[in-house]
Structure 1
């Protein structure tokens, strides 16, 4: 599992240098942590609106170390709320699920919503969700889903702290449901 984590770190760092990532995100929960990079798709594909996202949830120090890594793309835009700044997006993720004996993955469509409060633009909230049903799952897994929500405060215009909730869940083929992460977490987002 340590080799997988090292490999993922190298991929994330090389993605940052070649894609000029706009935002680095790190969050820590009780049993897991999440690392992600995201930014405008136009950095990868000229004249494209939306954003790319690459990251992983790692659950070390458990009986079965679990790694849930993803790469995704999403079209984004103004959500149309007149009273506050908001944005929404729809897209898809390719997910790799690594477990000691059972690798697999899923293709997961999903979306997100982000908003800032009028008059208090430094305070914002977000929600996202992705679901990979059995028909879009492969390897030793039958289902994947990830949902999350957070409230953040911009300490600086390019640096935010946040508190959130995340649930990352997979179901083993003909077996139990495994939770990679379920609970509160604290994090920070740094924009470049």
Structure 2
């Protein structure tokens, strides 16, 4: 079922492609791929699909929408609010668990005014028990990163990310990623 949801999600997002971004993030234990397309809702809004797997054969996929606007009072500051739906198969527990959630979140990004090539970003998403499904009690994702633009079409970054579900039956937190990562984002 997770494969069907991910396939439908990727196809629905891909049909809106006009100016796309591809983000590839890696750590020692995970690989994450995110494909985004601009949305016409407001400001710098973006629709995206993401997929991640780890060295314990757990996978997570999702689709989301982030609506962001530049803060005119503070040059270089962008604030965004978003929502996403995620589904995962967690294989690192004694019994495989299928979890999913709808999460609300925020993102803040600040480009240094003196040098627009350097930026810092942070994000937080939370899916409480009322909108967590399957074996999930809740979902959380947060992270921060420093970015450097090599060119207008390519950015490299390094940061920290944690993505976890709380499992209902055992009330334990299972992190799919928890630690540093590096990556590259292409715009085309």
Gaps of 5+ in 1: 43-47
TM-score, L = length of structure 1: 0.84
Alignment coverage as a number of residue pairs = 179
| Of 145, 158, 164, the match for 1:163 | 158
TM-score, L = length of structure 2: 0.86
Q: Give the Å deviation of 1:135.
A: 1.3
Counterpart position of 1:18: 15
Gaps of 5+ in 2: none
Aligned mates of 1:26, 1:162 — CA distance in 2: 10
Tell me whether 22-31 or 84-93 shows the greater mean CA deviation: 84-93
Aligned mates of 1:169, 1:17 — CA distance in 2: 27
Q: Can you list the C-alpha shifts for 1:9-52, whole angstroms capped at 9, x where unaligned?
A: 8964x46752215211001011111110123112xxxxx22211
Counterpart position of 1:45: none
Counterpart position of 2:180: 184
The structure 1 segments of at least 4 consecutive aligned residues displaced by more than 3 Å after TM superposition are 7-12, 14-17
Q: What does residue range 117-156 of structure 1 map to in structure 2 within 5 Å?
A: 117-156=112-151
| Of 8, 26, 29, the match for 2:27 | 29
Q: Can you list the C-alpha shifts for 1:39-91, whole angstroms capped at 9, x where unaligned?
A: 3112xxxxx222112102211x32xx211211111221112343x31211112
Q: Is the 8 A contact 2:13 2:47 kept in 1?
A: no
